[in-house]
């Protein structure tokens, strides 16, 4: 390489590096990262909750996430803790936050349910599979959530709310499920929750 | 030949600063001059509590090309939230104590040393005789106590305990409570606002009252509150106290004097109250380093900051987070410090990369244990309007419940991991 060409190359390299600070893409390039970051206090890093009763948000379909935020904000899903935060997320931009959590890899709950409860729940869960899938994987297109690996106490608490028609009352797509849950004893619902929580 | 100090040697040899560094950042050895001259961009975090540890981790998470050095004298992190349960014996202090391994795994250089000064003009943080140069510093010093505001306290700090920084004092106060004879008086004093953890004293009242009711039924708990009323979750605490007739709550009773010989405190009205065990929570201000670094405002107590970047209103390239801040309509809580830590870290990374910070409001969740198994909570949501944090809504739980206790336990697990990284959680 001639001296002149080497010189030109050096000039080019300097120019290319001109913005004194440049860097490769990082998490802050995702629009939702900065906005979703405070949720981790309860919902865990990247929405992978470690708690028994707080749901995992990682991998939730955006439409499902957005409906949950709407329902918490309006009080259709009753939660003293989530109602204010749902309003905050709406003001902040629910689409970006939903997209962020949808893109995160879901890690199943680290809280292991009791084995006997899982076995009892397996039999009782047979009628849930037609909608939630044989592996509890859900059906995003039909707004049916994946239950596999969600914390057991969270699933159980939601089942009890559905059974008592306290979660999203009046929502037509939930009518059938609420009718199925009605005659099932609470203890059996806890077993079903343990079963789905154990699935990977 | 006369012996030379290291400093004299450096001066005499004409090499100046920047030559002598001691065996890496991780050690505790003292250094003279510039410690580990920085190669690229560096953020120094002062304080490894809820705000500082979170910020250190999140700077690394958002941009691993930035070197992060965190200065924290304590070798372990002890959670203040839940530490009132140690007084009632419901939890052990060990279950609230974690290491900093998770931060190290995230690439944070943890140095167990105290920052002795911050010099914003030269962008230096001093550690004894040495100093670290920074591009930006995140100051998270928590609170310190205005001991001089209570006569007699300065000389009596070994026995008159605050237990307001979880650790040895928490264990010691639990011991004093457990050794108190049945029929004794436990006196708890609440400082005037602003102080760390607004509902904290009232949760502590529940825990001490529950313990006394269960273990020393002839004893009583006298509360001397400098404030006119319960500062946080007032109605919920009042309801919870129905279960504890052993509480004698006295509002607008500011303690101004303590006499450990006579086992007696004096209020600003001149009332004298005898105690068997005292828990005196003194008035507070930002951690000493914030005062030294001239980050506090005219009140000499708290630090004003930008509501989007948490950059100090007084010095550029210095950010302040957590309990030592003032001016945002937020409580001095662990959740808040954690939220500020993340938002500030992202802002710092954006600024160091020549970008604007994304305006993101913080969040607050405060769980309080009102017995050995029941919890109440307050939640605050915010937005940013014209560059300022504004509260959108505050909501309380409708009552106390074991369900909220389950949520509180879950919150703790998730947030400890968020503050310290996975490796930090035992």
Q: What is the pLDDT of residues B274-313, one digit of tens each?
A: 999 999 999 999 999 999 999 999 999 999 999 999 999 9
Residues B277, B319, single domain; the answer is: no
Give the rounded percent of residues in chain B with a pLDDT score beyond 90: 91
Q: Which pLDDT value is given to residue A25?
A: 64
Q: In chain B, what residues touch A30 (CB-CB under 8 Å)? A: none
Cβ distance B414 to A52 less than 8 Å, yes or no, reads: no
Of the three residues B330, B359, B388, the one that is the final residue of a domain is B359
Q: In chain A, what residues touch B361 (CB-CB under 8 Å)? A: 88, 92
Of B363, B394, B413, the CB nearest to A51: B413
Residues B167, B117, single domain; the answer is: no
Query: What is the arithmetic mean of pLDDT over B220-234?
Result: 98
Count how many Cα atoms sit within 13 Å of the Cα of residue A122 in the half-sphere of its side chain.
9
Q: In chain A, what residues touch B414 (CB-CB under 8 Å)? A: 40-44, 49-51, 54
Please state the separation of Cα B257 from the chain's center in Å: 25
Q: Which pLDDT value is given to residue A92?
A: 96
Of B63, B361, B410, the CB nearest to A23: B63
Q: Measure in Å the smallest separation between the Cα of A157 and chain B Cα atoms.
A: 9
The answer to the question of residue B209 being in a domain is yes
The answer to the question of residue B108 being in a domain is yes
- Residue A55, chain B, CB below 8 Å: the answer is no
Residues B190, B255, single domain; the answer is: yes
From the candidates A84, A158, A186, which should be mutated to test the interface with B, based on the most B CB atoms within 10 A?
Answer: A84
Cβ distance B360 to A35 less than 8 Å, yes or no, reads: yes
Q: In chain A, what residues touch B367 (CB-CB under 8 Å)? A: none
Of B365, B381, B415, the CB nearest to A87: B381
Cβ distance B395 to A83 less than 8 Å, yes or no, reads: yes
Residues B68, B121, single domain; the answer is: yes
Q: Which pLDDT value is given to residue B374?
A: 98
Measured distance CA(B165)–CA(B80) in Å, rounded = 6
Give the residue numbers spanning the domain of B180. Answer: 148-282
Query: What is the arithmetic mean of pLDDT over B54-69?
Result: 97
Residues B200, B109, single domain; the answer is: no
The answer to the question of residue B77 being in a domain is yes
* pLDDT: which is higher, B28 or A184: A184
Q: Which pLDDT value is given to residue B200?
A: 98
pLDDT score of A4 more than 90 = no
Residues B251, B158, single domain; the answer is: yes
Q: Which pLDDT value is given to residue A109?
A: 94
Segment B309-333, tens digit of pLDDT: 999 999 999 999 999 999 999 999 9
At B24, the pLDDT band (50, 70, 90 cuts) reads: very low
Q: Which pLDDT value is given to residue A13?
A: 47
Domains of chain A: 28-102 (1.10.760.10), 115-198 (1.10.760.10)
Side by side, which strands form the sheet with B109-111?
B109-111, B67-71, B42-46, B136-139, B318-320
Q: Which pLDDT value is given to residue A45?
A: 87
Helix (H) or strand (E) holding B284: strand B284-286
Residues B85, B99, single domain; the answer is: yes
pLDDT score of B364 more than 50 = yes
Query: What is the arithmetic mean of pLDDT over B21-37?
Result: 64
Helix (H) or strand (E) holding B395: strand B388-396
Of the three residues B309, B331, B359, the one that is the final residue of a domain is B359
Q: Which pLDDT value is given to residue B31?
A: 74
Q: Measure in Å the smallest separation between the Cα of B362 and chain A Cα atoms.
A: 7
B369 three-state secondary structure:
strand
Of B63, B355, B411, the CB nearest to A41: B411
The answer to the question of residue B21 being in a domain is no
Of the three residues B254, B282, B310, the one that is the final residue of a domain is B282
- Nearest-10 crossing angle of helices A82-92, A94-102: 100
The answer to the question of residue B392 being in a domain is no
From the candidates A20, A36, A42, A57, which should be mutated to test the interface with B, based on the most B CB atoms within 10 A?
Answer: A42
Q: Measure in Å the smallest separation between the Cα of A130 and chain B Cα atoms.
A: 31
Segment A162-181, tens digit of pLDDT: 999 999 999 999 999 999 99
pLDDT score of B5 more than 80 = no
Q: Which pLDDT value is given to residue A16?
A: 47
**B390 close to B384: Cβ distance less than 8 angstroms:** yes
pLDDT score of B14 more than 80 = no
The answer to the question of residue B2 being in a domain is no
Q: Which pLDDT value is given to residue B363?
A: 97
Q: Which pLDDT value is given to residue A31?
A: 84
Q: Which pLDDT value is given to residue A23?
A: 52
Residues B199, B274, single domain; the answer is: yes
Name the residue among B246, B232, B249, B250 with its Cα closest to residue B376. Answer: B232
User: How many CB pairs lie under 8 A apart between chains A and B?
Assistant: 133
Q: What integer best gives the mean pLDDT of chain B?
A: 93
Q: Measure in Å the smallest separation between the Cα of B42 and chain A Cα atoms.
A: 13
Query: What is the arithmetic mean of pLDDT over A85-100?
Result: 98
Q: In chain B, what residues touch A91 (CB-CB under 8 Å)? A: 383, 392
Cβ distance A42 to B414 less than 8 Å, yes or no, reads: yes
Residues B152, B278, single domain; the answer is: yes
pLDDT score of B46 more than 60 = yes
Alpha-carbon distance values, B286 to B194, B196, B332, B389 (Å): 10, 10, 11, 20
Q: Measure in Å the smallest separation between the Cα of A10 and chain B Cα atoms.
A: 22
Q: Which pLDDT value is given to residue A7?
A: 57
At B32, the pLDDT band (50, 70, 90 cuts) reads: confident
The answer to the question of residue B371 being in a domain is no
* pLDDT: which is higher, B24 or B100: B100
Residues B217, B333, single domain; the answer is: no
At B27, the pLDDT band (50, 70, 90 cuts) reads: very low
The answer to the question of residue B37 being in a domain is no
Q: What integer best gives the mean pLDDT of chain A?
A: 89
The tally of domains found in chain B comes to 2
- Nearest-10 crossing angle of helices A186-198, A115-124: 100
Residues B314, B245, single domain; the answer is: no
Strand pairing class (B136-139; B143-145)? unpaired
The CATH number of the domain where B182 resides is what? 3.50.50.60
- Tokens in use for B165? 């920084």
pLDDT score of A20 more than 90 = no
Residues B162, B108, single domain; the answer is: no
Q: Which pLDDT value is given to residue B1?
A: 38
At B424, the pLDDT band (50, 70, 90 cuts) reads: very low
Measured distance CA(B173)–CA(A40) in Å, rounded = 33
């Amino acid at each position: 390489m001639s001296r002149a060409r080497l010189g030109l190359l050096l000039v080019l390299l300097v120019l290319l590096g001109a913005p004194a600070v440049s860097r490769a893409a990082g998490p802050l390039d995702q629009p939702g990262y900065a906005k979703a970051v405070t949720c981790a206090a309860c919902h865990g890093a990247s929405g992978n909750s470690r708690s028994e009763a707080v749901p995992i948000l990682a991998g939730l379909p955006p439409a499902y996430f957005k409906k949950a935020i709407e329902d918490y904000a309006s009080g259709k899903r009753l939660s003293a803790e989530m109602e204010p935060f749902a309003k905050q997320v709406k003001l902040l931009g629910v689409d970006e936050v939903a997209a962020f959590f949808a893109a995160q890899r879901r890690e199943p709950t680290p809280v292991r349910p009791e084995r006997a409860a899982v076995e009892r729940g397996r039999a009782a869960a047979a009628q849930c599979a037609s909608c939630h899938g044989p592996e509890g994987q859900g059906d995003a297109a039909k707004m049916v959530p994946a239950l596999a690996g969600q914390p057991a106490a969270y699933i159980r608490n939601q089942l009890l709310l559905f059974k008592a028609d306290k979660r999203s009352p009046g929502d037509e797509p939930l009518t059938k499920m609420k009718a199925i849950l009605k005659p099932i004893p609470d203890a059996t619902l806890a077993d079903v929750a343990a079963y789905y929580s154990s699935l990977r | 030949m006369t012996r030379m100090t290291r400093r004299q040697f450096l001066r005499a040899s004409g090499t100046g600063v920047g030559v002598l560094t001691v065996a890496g950042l991780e050690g505790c050895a003292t250094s003279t001059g510039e410690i580990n001259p920085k190669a690229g961009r560096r953020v120094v975090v002062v304080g490894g509590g809820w705000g500082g540890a979170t910020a250190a981790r999140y700077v690394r998470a958002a941009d691993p090309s930035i070197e992060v050095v965190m200065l924290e004298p304590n070798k372990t992190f002890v959670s203040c939230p839940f530490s009132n349960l140690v007084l009632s014996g419901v939890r052990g202090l060990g279950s609230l104590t974690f290491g900093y391994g998770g931060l190290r795994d995230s690439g944070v250089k943890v140095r167990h040393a105290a920052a002795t000064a911050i010099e914003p003009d030269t962008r230096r943080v001093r550690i004894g005789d040495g100093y670290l140069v920074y591009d930006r510093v995140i100051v998270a010093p928590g609170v310190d106590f205005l001991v001089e505001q209570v006569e007699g306290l300065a000389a009596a700090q070994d026995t008159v305990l605050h237990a307001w920084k979880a650790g040895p004092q928490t264990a010691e106060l639990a011991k004093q409570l457990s050794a108190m004879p049945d029929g004794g008086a436990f006196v708890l004093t609440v400082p005037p606002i602003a102080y760390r953890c607004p509902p904290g004293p009232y949760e502590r009242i529940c825990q001490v009252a529950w313990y006394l009711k269960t273990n020393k039924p002839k004893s009583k708990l006298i509360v001397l509150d400098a404030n006119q009323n319960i500062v946080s979750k007032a109605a919920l605490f009042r309801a919870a106290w129905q279960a504890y007739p052993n509480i004698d709550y006295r509002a607008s009773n500011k303690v101004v004097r303590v006499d450990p010989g006579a086992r007696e405190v004096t209020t600003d009205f001149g009332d004298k109250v005898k105690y068997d065990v005292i828990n005196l929570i003194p008035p507070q201000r930002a951690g000493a380093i914030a005062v030294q670094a001239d980050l506090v405002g005219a009140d000499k107590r708290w630090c004003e900051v930008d509501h989007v970047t948490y950059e100090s209103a007084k010095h550029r390239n210095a950010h302040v987070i957590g309990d030592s801040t003032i001016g945002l309509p937020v409580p001095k809580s662990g959740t808040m410090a954690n939220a500020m830590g993340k938002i500030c870290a992202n802002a710092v990374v954006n600024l160091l990369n020549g970008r604007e910070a994304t305006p993101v409001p913080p969040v607050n969740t405060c769980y309080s244990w009102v017995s050995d198994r029941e919890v109440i909570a307050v939640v605050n949501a915010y937005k940013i309007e014209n560059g300022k944090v504004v509260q959108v809504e505050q909501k309380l739980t409708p009552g106390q419940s074991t369900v909220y206790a389950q949520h509180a336990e879950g919150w703790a697990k998730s947030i400890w991991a968020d503050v310290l990284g996975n490796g930090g959680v035992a």
